[in-house]
Amino acid sequence: MKASGSTTNTLKRKPISDSSEWTTDLINQYDHEIARVAAEFGLDTYPNQIEIISSEQMMDAYSSVGMPLGYHHWSFGKQFLNVERRYKRGHMGLAYEIVINSNPCIAYLMEENTMTMQALVLAHASYGHNSFFKGNYLFRTWTNADAIIDYLVFAKNYIAECEKRYGISDVENILDSCHALMNYGVDRYKRPAQLSNEEESLRQKEREEYLQSQINDLWRTIPVVEKQESDTEEVRFPSEPQENLLYFIEKNAPLMEPWQREIVRIIRKVAQYFYPQRQTQVMNEGWATFWHYTILNKLYEEGLVTDGFMIEFLQSHTNVVAQPPYNSPNYSGINPYTLGFAMMSDIRRICENPTDEDKAWFPEIAGKDWLQTLDFAMRNFKDESFIAQFLSPKLIRDLKLFSVLDDDTQNTLEITAIHDESGYRKIRRALVEHYNLSTREPNIQIYNVNLRGDRSLILRHIQHDRKPLDDSTDEVLRHLARLWGFTVRVESVDSDGNIELTHECKVKR
């Protein structure tokens, strides 16, 4: 560790502070130094906006799932009550920070934090996460940091307006249903349009009328002529399966009011905004953790922070990146901070001190400039591809990873690979699968609408490794049926191509 090596160096400069109390002035000074170091390392960030808040406000921020201003919904209330209860009982501490992907990048600092923690959070959120938001291709493609706050304001106001006009219960019903399908409200490939408050407001009315006219067309264009019915294959609608369920509902649900469509759209946009975060958890946290570690160590080398500062920082840092083993009572899956931080540090190691193994596995980065390599990795990958590309045998050994096969046709679990020569690639592949959202979530797409009959909506669930849908599916289908207005069915397609009707939610008209 560099921190311990440099204690005997002559301190070039006076430490910024030596007390654990923070002041706005001190935060400014730390920020100034951290910004300088970050710039030396080439981090490119949005401007920062740092907001000091109390713990109650932090709980508020928590419960609106990271949106700086959210519309009102009972589920946020539930979240709040939960956080509040657990916090008051001491079951959990609050996060030291929350950071918002916006321009300027908003980071919340809790007033209870010590100066050390504030500095840690600054480096972690305002420079780590911030540069990730600005650089990573998913965020660049899918989110618009300049407009998100505007859009959330629009969304909040619009939904509040709807509540006034149509009643809280009706709006709540729509929101409930949309939330159930939120994960299926994202375009995985198509680039979304830019959002902005003014535009949205201007275009919203037009869209309302236009959409309504389009819906009627859907039914008007049903072929009237019945000739050759038997010999032509029935035309499906949509002609290609649609993965974005909420999009399909917004555009095609026959009985929806315009305001309901707009709400579906809002939830869809919010889901899309969070989609990159769900795909880059390991990378994002790893990147931010790597940089707070690197930056604060640099400050220490320069003599700007004290030994006491470093001890407090390292203790907190160690807690964050701790990975309990699989058989520990504290184990709850692989800690994304640990994996991300370890991989980022490992890339630097491979660049600076490659072993023969590294040279064989990573010829393209071994011995290269570490800053450029990390920057490249941060910009162009998401969790699954990042792991597929950069998880090294050494790291698999360090974390002692092993993979377990749970097959319901077998009586026992099988250890398929461990951290040895023959296991590295298998483990890496299995871990990639774990971070692949499209296999982690059931693959469900809209397959067809029964245009000629009962207008029922048919979804296809393409089974992956024979995994069935769970018990909540019926509940979700009820939500979907509420939006669609007619019967909804789910057909499961297994690996042999057999199709079976597994779930149905009937709507009587």
160 half-sphere exposure, CB direction, 13 A CA radius: 10
Nearest to 461 by CA among 478, 442, 477: 442
Distance CA 504, CA 457 (A): 10
Nearest to 205 by CA among 154, 152, 141, 273: 154
Distance (Å) of CA 45 to CA 66, 135, 421: 20, 8, 40
- For the bound state, the minimum distance from the C-beta of residue 478 to other proteins, rounded and expressed in Å, comes to 9
- For the bound state, the minimum distance from the C-beta of residue 211 to other proteins, rounded and expressed in Å, comes to 26
Distance CA 107, CA 275 (A): 20
- For the bound state, the minimum distance from the C-beta of residue 226 to other proteins, rounded and expressed in Å, comes to 37
Cβ count within 10 A of residue 229: 10
Q: Which of residues 19-38 bind other proteins (CB under 8 A)?
A: 24, 27-28, 31, 35
Enter the tokens of residue 72.
């009102």
Q: Which of residues 110-149 bind other proteins (CB under 8 A)?
A: 111, 126
Distance CA 271, CA 266 (A): 9
Segment lying near other proteins (by CB under 8 A), choices 5-13, 195-203, 344-352, 472-480: 472-480
* Residue at 26: amino acid letter: L
Distance CA 252, CA 327 (A): 49
- For the bound state, the minimum distance from the C-beta of residue 105 to other proteins, rounded and expressed in Å, comes to 10
Q: Which of residues 162-221 bind other proteins (CB under 8 A)?
A: 168, 172, 176, 179-184
What is the signed CA dihedral for 311, 313, 315, 319, rounded to 10 degrees? -170
Residue 472 has what DSSP assignment? T
Using CB under 8 A as the binding rule, whether residue 295 contacts other proteins is answered as no
Compute the Cα dihedral for 264, 269, 272, 278 and give only its sign: negative
Q: How many residues bind other proteins (CB under 8 A)?
A: 101
Segment lying near other proteins (by CB under 8 A), choices 186-194, 214-222, 273-281, 402-410: 402-410
- Binding residue for other proteins (CB under 8 A) from 63, 101, 244, 280? 63
Segment lying near other proteins (by CB under 8 A), choices 3-11, 55-63, 249-257, 277-285: 55-63
CB closer to other proteins out of 283 and 374: 283
- Binding residue for other proteins (CB under 8 A) from 368, 434, 460, 482? 434
Using CB under 8 A as the binding rule, whether residue 10 contacts other proteins is answered as no
Distance (Å) of CA 116 to CA 41, 122, 214: 21, 10, 58
Using CB under 8 A as the binding rule, whether residue 272 contacts other proteins is answered as no
Using CB under 8 A as the binding rule, whether residue 425 contacts other proteins is answered as no
- For the bound state, the minimum distance from the C-beta of residue 5 to other proteins, rounded and expressed in Å, comes to 29
State how beta strands 105-110 and 48-53 pair: parallel
CB closer to other proteins out of 351 and 401: 401
Distance CA 24, CA 14 (A): 19
- For the bound state, the minimum distance from the C-beta of residue 210 to other proteins, rounded and expressed in Å, comes to 30
- Binding residue for other proteins (CB under 8 A) from 19, 36, 311, 326? 326
Using CB under 8 A as the binding rule, whether residue 39 contacts other proteins is answered as no
Using CB under 8 A as the binding rule, whether residue 430 contacts other proteins is answered as yes
Compute the Cα dihedral for 302, 306, 310, 311 and give only its sign: positive
- Binding residue for other proteins (CB under 8 A) from 263, 417, 481, 488? 417
Sequence-distant (6+) residues with CB within 8 A of 265 are 246, 250
CB closer to other proteins out of 366 and 490: 490
- For the bound state, the minimum distance from the C-beta of residue 80 to other proteins, rounded and expressed in Å, comes to 4
Using CB under 8 A as the binding rule, whether residue 90 contacts other proteins is answered as no
- Binding residue for other proteins (CB under 8 A) from 120, 256, 314, 444? 444
Segment lying near other proteins (by CB under 8 A), choices 54-62, 210-218, 293-301, 369-377: 54-62
CB closer to other proteins out of 3 and 469: 469
- For the bound state, the minimum distance from the C-beta of residue 410 to other proteins, rounded and expressed in Å, comes to 8
Nearest to 9 by CA among 300, 308, 312, 293: 300
Cβ count within 10 A of residue 421: 8
- Binding residue for other proteins (CB under 8 A) from 5, 90, 325, 453? 325
Q: Which of residues 67-86 bind other proteins (CB under 8 A)?
A: 72-78, 80-82, 84-86
SS3 at position 449: strand
- Binding residue for other proteins (CB under 8 A) from 5, 8, 47, 227? 47
Enter the tokens of residue 27.
């935060």
What is the signed CA dihedral for 272, 274, 278, 282, rounded to 10 degrees? 130
